[in-house]
Amino acid sequence: MQLTRAGFLVLLWLFVLAALRVVRSDLYAASGLRASGLPGFRRSEKPARGSKAPRQLVVTHGALTGTRISLDGRPILIGRADDSTLVLDDDFASTRHARLSMRGTDWYVEDLGSTNGTYLDRDKVTAPLRVPLGTPIRIGKTVIELRS
Amino acid sequence: MKGSPVPTGEGSPGASVATSTSPGLRAPTRRGTELVMLSFAAGLVTLALILVELNQERSLSLRILYLGLAYLGLFACAHLAVRRWAPYADPAILPCVALLNGLGLVVIHRIDLAMEGTVFLDGSVWDPVAFKQVIWTAIGLLLFAATLKFLPDHRMLARFGYTFGLVGLVALLLPGVLPGFIAPTINGAKIWLRIGPLSIQPGEFAKILLMVFFAAFLVSKRDLFTVAGRRFLGMDLPRARDLGPLFAAWGVTVAVMVLQKDLGSSLLFFGIVLVLLYIATERAAWVVLGLGLFSGGAVIAWKLFTHVQQRVSNWQDPIARYEVIGGGYQISQSLFGLATGGIGGAGLGAGRPEMIPEANTDFITAVIGEELGFVGFAALLLIYMVFALRGLRSAIAVRDSFGKLLGGGLAFAVCFQVFIVVGGVTKLIPMTGITAPFLSYGGSSLLANYILVALLLRISAAARSPQRAPKPKPQQPAIADQHTVMVERPK
């Protein structure tokens, strides 16, 4: 009887550990937004770490603060439209506000004709501008930057 | 990421980037993991049932295995529903719920065995409820699947925010104001509606409706609440006119406390509003103000109402009031049960749950604490924690603010409810009488919680699914070069 009692408790804890194992892989992933955050892809990305290529986009101010999006070479649309990569919920942002796209190894930001404009650091974005690492891009009340 | 170059969508409008690339780019749905965990949970539940039957010295038969398989079948159906309608949902949430609900069923059955043939003071005989709870579970899973099917996007809920708020408010307050024959007072609380043979607790559903309302309301009005008023003690206090919703929530809470004598629900409701406000504004000032209001209200209630005074003095010293009517008997028995359980527990089916009053509803966690001991009880709390963790994680990862608020609120609600129940049973806070989510006997609570799980899975599916690729546009030359390159008009 003692054996079954202990056995059941052990199994119960095994379930807890199994559940934690299932969630563990997600704990380190950037935000679950992109497949590249999953552990299988992590290893192949490691060598890139030394170089200064931007690897993610981070929201530093505004309602979405803390959101991270892994960069995988596809352009990133920012705006209030539902199909944007980063959906802003901000009265000062336009439906299609700005786009970040990669050319060569650099990322460029361009304004898509927004009402209130896009600012790279202090400068208003009128033509596509190269975005250096860690430079704030301001869109309405949201500030994003690229990080490696 | 290596291999298969990502097509740029050049020339082929309509070809979705996410689906046309190799499977390596697609986020795994992890539905297989969920099925394995569900089988594990069903196995544990079957084992628990076998242990109960063994310890009660009842004959074992193949019937138990069939019951276990039926349980697995039930959740396999839920799993298929998830696979069909929310393929990217979180894989850990449903198994946790399956295990909690299954253990609840086993413990309810075990209490039925202990109480079999008991005759009460008013002459009524104990009515076994395990089978009813199985039916409620099945209905709950049906509702779960229906919610997933008819709600393909959680943002649809935001549109009906105010409607939900009104319905929720009415549902919350209805039992308090209706006459006694429809809304009877049971165990001192007036929170049930009796319609024919059914008793429902509309408050359980109101909890979800009001959360939807508050999330929708805060998303549309959030900016108002972040406008700072005066600074005080290093905090930005909100402006006085923005305090409206907080006072409204406080008023409803007090109304529930006064009209229905239901302390647990009012605490739960107020806690949820505070947390939603905090998530929306990230300002500690709201929490401090809210807690101040709540403690003020609690002190006034304690001065005015005898039932509150009773609860508090029962909490301060249950043993001293052991023999007083409405005194510390319940909490004392629950504490004795937990003490009997000790570290390792008495073993499933070997405890004495008949000594604990309200064993299958408010005090079910005390029964589990007695039979599984501290070790098992801690595991149970951890399962709740994993559930809440996944809920909050989905809320962080989802991309729209409404989803963030709703997900955070739902996950917190379950967590807070467990805190109120377990805190009451273990004499950490005054006992308030509220059900343990998924464990306690009670149809309304179970149905409402299954809807809650469906909503959380919906939000987690939105958070984890690979986003739709932006609609491929006809390729343009790089814009920087446009001034110098002749562009042919597309034919």
The pLDDT value recorded for residue B260 is: 78
Q: Mean pLDDT throughout B56-83? A: 89
Helices H / strands E in chain A, number of each: 2, 11
Which CATH number fits the domain that encloses residue A140? Answer: 2.60.200.20
**What tens digit of pLDDT does each residue of B39-69 get?**
999 999 999 999 998 888 888 888 888 889 9
As for how many domains chain B has, the answer is: 1
Instruction: Pick the residue from chain A with its C-alpha nearest to B465.
Output: A33
Give residue for tokens 């900016």: B223
The pLDDT value recorded for residue B428 is: 92
- Residues from chain B contacting residue A1 (CB–CB below 8 Å): 54-55, 347, 350
- Residues from chain B contacting residue A11 (CB–CB below 8 Å): 44, 47
Question: A16, B379: Cβ pair inside 8 Å?
Answer: yes
Q: How confident is the model at residue B401 (pLDDT cuts 50, 70, 90)?
A: confident
Asked if the structure places residue B106 within a domain, the reply is no
As for how many domains chain A has, the answer is: 1
- pLDDT of B13 > 80? The answer is no
- pLDDT of A129 > 80? The answer is yes
Q: Mean pLDDT throughout A107-114? A: 85
What is the Cα–Cα distance from A38 to B438, expressed in whole angstroms?
31
Cβ contacts of residue B396 below 8 Å, gap of 6+? A31, A66, B404
Question: B466, A35: Cβ pair inside 8 Å?
Answer: yes
- Segment holding B195, helix H or strand E: strand B193-195
Cβ contacts of residue A55 below 8 Å, gap of 6+? A45, A48, A70, A71, A147, A148
Residue B297 distance to chain A (closest CA, Å): 32
Q: How confident is the model at residue B7 (pLDDT cuts 50, 70, 90)?
A: very low
Q: How many CB pairs under 8 A join A and B?
A: 134
Q: How confident is the model at residue B464 (pLDDT cuts 50, 70, 90)?
A: confident
What is the Cα–Cα distance from B209 to B269, expressed in whole angstroms?
11
Cβ contacts of residue A46 below 8 Å, gap of 6+? none
Q: Is A147 helix (H, G, I), strand (E, B) or coil?
A: strand
Q: Mean pLDDT throughout B189-198? A: 77
- Residues from chain B contacting residue A75 (CB–CB below 8 Å): 470
Residue B231: give the domain boundaries: 160-304
Highest mean pLDDT: which range of B147-151, B235-239, B261-265, B462-466: B147-151
Give alpha helix (H) positions in B89-197.
Answer: 93-115, 130-150, 156-159, 161-177
- pLDDT of B15 > 80? The answer is no
**What tens digit of pLDDT does each residue of B143-174 get?**
999 999 999 999 899 888 889 989 988 888 88
- Residues from chain A contacting residue B375 (CB–CB below 8 Å): 9, 13
Q: Mean pLDDT throughout A59-86? A: 83
Q: Mean pLDDT throughout A63-69? A: 81
Edge-to-edge order in the sheet of strand A123-124: A68-70, A56-61, A142-147, A137-139, A118-120, A123-124
The pLDDT value recorded for residue A27 is: 60
CA distances from B359 to B113, B341, B354, B364 (A): 12, 15, 7, 5
Asked if the structure places residue B243 within a domain, the reply is yes
The pLDDT value recorded for residue A39 is: 42
**What tens digit of pLDDT does each residue of B333-382 get?**
999 999 999 998 888 888 888 888 888 888 999 999 999 999 999 999 99
The closest of A144, A101, A145 to B470, measured between CA atoms, is A101
- Residue B469 near residue B476, CB atoms below 8 Å: no
The pLDDT value recorded for residue B486 is: 58
- Residue A39 near residue A21, CB atoms below 8 Å: no
- pLDDT of B451 > 70? The answer is yes
Question: B463, A32: Cβ pair inside 8 Å?
Answer: yes
Highest mean pLDDT: which range of A89-98, B100-109, B111-120: B100-109
Residue B383 distance to chain A (closest CA, Å): 6
- Residues from chain A contacting residue B373 (CB–CB below 8 Å): 9
Question: B399, A103: Cβ pair inside 8 Å?
Answer: no
Q: How confident is the model at residue B423 (pLDDT cuts 50, 70, 90)?
A: very high
Q: Mean pLDDT throughout B4-17? A: 38
Asked if the structure places residue B42 within a domain, the reply is no
Cβ contacts of residue A87 below 8 Å, gap of 6+? A79, A80, A81, B399, B400
Residue B453 distance to chain A (closest CA, Å): 17
Instruction: Pick the residue from chain B with its C-alpha nearest to A96.
Output: B470
Instruction: Please provide the average confidence, as pLDDT, over all residues in chain A.
Output: 78
Whats the size of chain A, residue-wise? 148
- Residues from chain B contacting residue A128 (CB–CB below 8 Å): 478-480
Angle between helices B62-85 and B93-115 (to 10 degrees): 150
Q: Mean pLDDT throughout B450-463? A: 94
- Residue B439 near residue B454, CB atoms below 8 Å: no
- pLDDT of A81 > 90? The answer is no
**Composition of chain A by helix, strand, coil, percent to 5:** 30, 30, 45
Q: How confident is the model at residue A76 (pLDDT cuts 50, 70, 90)?
A: confident
Asked if the structure places residue A103 within a domain, the reply is yes
The pLDDT value recorded for residue B208 is: 93
Question: A63, B468: Cβ pair inside 8 Å?
Answer: no
Which one of A4, A19, A83 has the shortest CB-CB distance to B470? A83
- pLDDT of B480 > 60? The answer is no
Question: A9, B344: Cβ pair inside 8 Å?
Answer: yes
Which one of B96, B372, B397 has the shortest CB-CB distance to A19? B96
Burial A7-41 (b: 16+ CB within 10 A, else e): ebbeebeebbebbeebbebbeebbbbbbbbbbeeb
The pLDDT value recorded for residue A105 is: 78
- Residues from chain A contacting residue B349 (CB–CB below 8 Å): none
Comparing A9-13, A103-107, B3-7, B416-420, the range with the smallest average pLDDT is B3-7
Instruction: Please provide the average confidence, as pLDDT, over all residues in chain B.
Output: 83
Q: Mean pLDDT throughout B111-119? A: 85
Asked if the structure places residue B236 within a domain, the reply is yes
**What tens digit of pLDDT does each residue of B290-337 get?**
888 888 888 888 888 888 888 888 898 888 888 887 778 889 999 999
Asked if the structure places residue A23 within a domain, the reply is no
Q: Around B148, how many Cα atoms within 13 Å sit in the side-chain half-sphere?
A: 28
- pLDDT of A88 > 80? The answer is yes
Interface test with A, best of B467, B476, B483 (most A CBs within 10 A): B467
Residue B286 distance to chain A (closest CA, Å): 17
Q: In chain A, which ranges are E strands? A: 56-61, 68-70, 76-79, 86-87, 98-103, 106-111, 118-120, 123-124, 129-130, 137-139, 142-147
The residue that leads in pLDDT, B305 or B26, is B305
Highest mean pLDDT: which range of A13-17, A36-40, B23-27, B300-304: A13-17
- pLDDT of A36 > 60? The answer is no
Residue A68: give the domain boundaries: 56-147
The reported pTM is 0.76
Which one of A9, A19, A72 has the shortest CB-CB distance to B375? A9
**What tens digit of pLDDT does each residue of B201-237 get?**
888 899 999 999 989 988 887 766 666 555 666 566 6
The pLDDT value recorded for residue B383 is: 96
Q: How confident is the model at residue A101 (pLDDT cuts 50, 70, 90)?
A: confident
Asked if the structure places residue B456 within a domain, the reply is no
Q: How confident is the model at residue B4 (pLDDT cuts 50, 70, 90)?
A: very low
- Residues from chain A contacting residue B1 (CB–CB below 8 Å): 36, 41, 44-45, 72
Q: Which residues pair with A142 in a beta bridge?
A: A139
Question: A33, B467: Cβ pair inside 8 Å?
Answer: yes
Question: B1, A75: Cβ pair inside 8 Å?
Answer: no
- Residues from chain A contacting residue B7 (CB–CB below 8 Å): none
Q: DSSP characters for B239-260? A: PGGGGHHHHHHHHHHHHHHHHH
Amino acid symbol at B105: L
- Residue B50 near residue B24, CB atoms below 8 Å: no
The residue that leads in pLDDT, B235 or A69, is A69
Q: How confident is the model at residue B12 (pLDDT cuts 50, 70, 90)?
A: very low
Comparing A77-81, B5-9, B323-327, the range with the smallest average pLDDT is B5-9
What is the Cα–Cα distance from B214 to B208, expressed in whole angstroms?
10
